[in-house]
Amino acid sequence: MATTKTATDNATDNDIPDEDLEPVTDETARQAQRVVAAYAADADECRMLLSMLGIGPSGKND
């Protein structure tokens, strides 16, 4: 019997350890925030997506 790989199996094969991840630069985060805000259906969805991406508002005034 042949085994088949699912998308979930492939995702775990390509996982990057947390210690190998580098934080995004402020400029990259700002650009990503603008893209998410442009495509989000409303403010709540925007906040949720930004939070999930780890690029939510920092609370500091620039």
Taking only the tens place, the pLDDT of each residue in 9-40 is 555 677 888 888 888 899 999 999 999 999 99
> According to the model, what pLDDT value does residue 24 have?
85
What does the domain layout of the chain look like in residue ranges? 26-55
Residues in the chain: 62
> According to the model, what pLDDT value does residue 42 have?
97
Tokens of 25: 């630069």
> According to the model, what pLDDT value does residue 21 have?
83
Residue 2 has pLDDT above 90, yes or no: no
**Three-class HEC string of 4-53:** CCCHHHHHHHCCCCHHHCCCCCHHHHHHHHHHHHHHCCCHHHHHHHHHHH
